[in-house]
Structure 1
Amino acid sequence: MRLNFNTKILGKNTILVPYREHHVPKYHTWMRSEELQKLTASEPLTLEEEYKMQKTWQEDDDKCTFIILDKHKYEQNCDENDSMIGDTNIFVIDNDNMVGEIEIMIAEETARGSKKGWEAVILMLLYGIKFIKIKTFEAKISIENIISINMFQKLNFKEKSRSEIFQEVTLEKVVDNNWTKGLEGHFEFQLQTYE
């Protein structure tokens, strides 16, 4: 999404940066994992296809993605690729009603269970509310991905539907002022220009 092309979001333990070409090789390595393919309902892509996909994320008006960096690791080594732990996305699936599908993936096993995914998804929800103007969020999650389902339920998402065919559940949250204020109370939200 052009909107976030030069946007960096700083949290307490994570930094969200736009998905750029130099991130593709590591991202491609992650997505060769059968476990991650299953959890994210993704098909394996060639490296060339991954570069093309990165371009669409960067240019399409209905897709917003950020790479999640471990902030403390990045502050020590200033190496984005070495500090990458996952990604978070919003797809605008209904422009008229501003419905966005939100996704989060913590690809690095060492970062799982560290609350960095929790922080990153809250930062992304706030970005979606404030800058993309999302009015309703949906999260489509594999029925087997209990950790993600629990995380979104803790964020007050409710089950909207369940597909036995696709083995996924769709959770939904309508944005309101109280919920937004509650999200803002979790983590600091600071924007910087990404060079």
Structure 2
Amino acid sequence: MRINESTCIIGTNVVLVPYKDFHVPRYHEWMKSTELQELTASEPLSLEEEYEMQKSWFQDENKCTFIMLDKSKWSSSTDEIESMCGDVNLFFNDPDEPSIAEIEIMVAESSSRGKGFGKEALLIMMHYGMDSLKVSRYVAKIGEKNKVSLGLFKKLGFQETSVSKVFQEVTLELEVKGQFQDWLREQMSHLQIVQYTPNR
């Protein structure tokens, strides 16, 4: 999606930047992990295929992707590659319901887990989707074995709507309205949204 190609969102502990081609080698290294492949239901790709994927995601108006940076590393070095720790995505899969988005989060770096980065990146993306992309409902599809992600989404108010035994996947949903909308705006009132300038 091109809408966020020049958007950098600075939070308390994480920074979100658009997924660019120079991020691909580090991303490709992450996705060699069988653990991450299982958690994200992904197939391993060659480096060339990963570049093609990045390009297609950038051009696809139904996908919005940000790379998550560790703010403490980014602030001290401004080296995006060294600061990369995961990604967060929105997928607009239903052309008849453009305000519904599937949301997905991955904290790829094991050293970045357990620090609240995933929760913060998720809330930033939900706020961005609500304010910039007019999302009114979020859907999350999470593997049954991924107890950490299931716990995180449920803690934020997502309700389980179905379980697929075939795909071993739980579907959760959250309406963005009323008190939750007000709460999310209040929680994210500190965000800085600035013009993105790539720094490798």
TM-score of the pair, normalised by structure 1: 0.97
1:180 aligns to what?
181
Q: Work out the CA distance in 2 between the residues paired with 1:191 and 1:141.
A: 29
| Runs of 4+ that moved beyond 3 A | none
1:134-173: CA deviations, max 9, x gaps? Answer: 1111000000001100100011100011001101100001
1:91-148: CA deviations, max 9, x gaps? Answer: 0112332210000000000000000111000000001111111111100000000110
Q: Which amino acid aligns with 1:7?
A: T
Matches within 5 A, 1:44-193: 44-97=44-97, 98-187=99-188, 188-193=190-195
Q: How many percent identity over aligned positions?
A: 50
Q: Secondary structure at the match of 2:48?
A: helix
| 1:191 to partner: Cα distance | 0.8
Q: Secondary structure at the match of 1:69?
A: strand
| 1:66 to partner: Cα distance | 0.2
| 1:178 to partner: Cα distance | 1.4
Q: Work out the CA distance in 2 between the residues paired with 1:21 and 1:87.
A: 14
| 1:186 to partner: Cα distance | 2.8
Q: Secondary structure at the match of 2:92?
A: strand
Aligned Cα RMSD in Å? Answer: 0.9
Q: Which amino acid aligns with 1:74?
A: W
Q: Work out the CA distance in 2 between the residues paired with 1:180 and 1:114.
A: 25
1:14 aligns to what?
14
Unaligned runs of 5+ in 2: none
Q: Which amino acid aligns with 1:79?
A: D
Q: Work out the CA distance in 1 between the residues paired with 2:178 and 2:2.
A: 27
Q: Work out the CA distance in 1 between the residues paired with 2:57 and 2:195.
A: 18
**Number of equivalent positions:** 195
Q: Which amino acid aligns with 2:195?
A: T
Q: Work out the CA distance in 1 between the residues paired with 2:96 and 2:136.
A: 10
Q: Work out the CA distance in 2 between the residues paired with 1:116 and 1:183.
A: 16
Q: Work out the CA distance in 2 between the residues paired with 1:95 and 1:174.
A: 18
Q: Work out the CA distance in 1 between the residues paired with 2:111 and 2:187.
A: 23
1:41 aligns to what?
41
Q: Secondary structure at the match of 1:94?
A: coil
